[in-house]
Amino acid sequence: MGRRCAFVRLGGCNLSCSWCDTPYTWDWTGKGDTGIAYDPKKELQKIPYTQVRDRLVAYGVPLIVVSGGEPLNQQTRLYPLVRDLRDSGHDVEIETNGTIAPDARLAELARFNVSPKLAHSGDPLRKRIVGRALEALAAVPGTAFKFVCRTEADLAEVGAVVERYGIGSVWVMPEGRTQDALDRSLAQIRDPVLARGWNLTTRLHITLWGDRRGV
């Protein structure tokens, strides 16, 4: 948080979290709590990876973050972009929901920020917690796990996932698309998170820009 970077946001997701802060990347039927059915023809663009690479390099920042949607749905297409960015001296981080095991070639080039989803996402357990994928991601050096929590009660669920799958680097982030929502969640989870010896973070972009897109 706070490091200068550029984001690549991919479309499509294999989950449908009710509180997702980027529903415009996947919610074509209005499943999320906004109730908005987004139009994929307006939201998604097919762009050659070389054009994406050149636009990212032009930003002149040291870190590129690939997010979604779910990036590992497209990891075969993603590989040449990540390869070229690493060749040009960039660090690359990929944000994933932890349900898809990474390709070995991609795992050699990027750091993974894994965000397993809890029950409050609304997705069934069998879809949101995939043991073989979590174990594969946990085995990649440098991987960090970030859990989005609303209340102290969510932390027991986090602890169960951490213990079962041997997760080391644990971060907890409050859920919320507004500053008020973040403040409420953060006030509930901050002390018990620190008492467990986990890392605590917030969402700087919400503090700075709210729920705006394209900043």
pLDDT digits (tens, 9 = 90+) for 80-132: 999 999 999 999 999 999 999 999 999 999 999 999 999 999 999 999 999 99
Is there a binding annotation on residue 21?
yes
Residue 137 located in a structural domain: yes
Is there a binding annotation on residue 22?
yes
Is there a binding annotation on residue 203?
no
Is there a binding annotation on residue 117?
yes
Is there a binding annotation on residue 149?
no
Give percent above pLDDT 90 in the chain: 88
Residue 33 located in a structural domain: yes
Question: What residues contact residue 80 under an 8 Å CB cut-off, 6+ apart?
Answer: 49
Is there a binding annotation on residue 5?
no
Is there a binding annotation on residue 197?
no
pLDDT interval class at 210 (50, 70, 90) = confident
Task: Tell me the pLDDT of the chain averaged across its residues.
Answer: 95
Give mean pLDDT, residues 63-85.
Answer: 97
> Is pTM, for the whole model, over 0.85?
yes
Residue 127 located in a structural domain: yes
Is there a binding annotation on residue 18?
no
Q: How many separate domains does the chain show? A: 1
Residue 215 located in a structural domain: no
Report the CATH number that the domain containing residue 103 is assigned in CATH.
3.20.20.70
- Rounded Cα distance, 160 and 91, in Å: 31
* Dihedral sign (CA 171, 174, 176, 182): negative
Is there a binding annotation on residue 67?
yes
Task: Kindly tell me if the per-residue pLDDT of 147 is higher than 90.
Answer: yes
Domain residues for the domain of 75 are 5-209
Is there a binding annotation on residue 46?
no
- Rounded Cα distance, 116 and 202, in Å: 17
- Rounded Cα distance, 143 and 112, in Å: 5
Residue 178 located in a structural domain: yes
Q: List b or e across 177-198, with b for residues whose CB sees 16 or more CB atoms inside 10 angstroms.
A: beeebbebbbebbeebbeeeeb
- Rounded Cα distance, 145 and 165, in Å: 11
Residue 214 located in a structural domain: no
Task: Kindly tell me if the per-residue pLDDT of 208 is higher than 90.
Answer: no
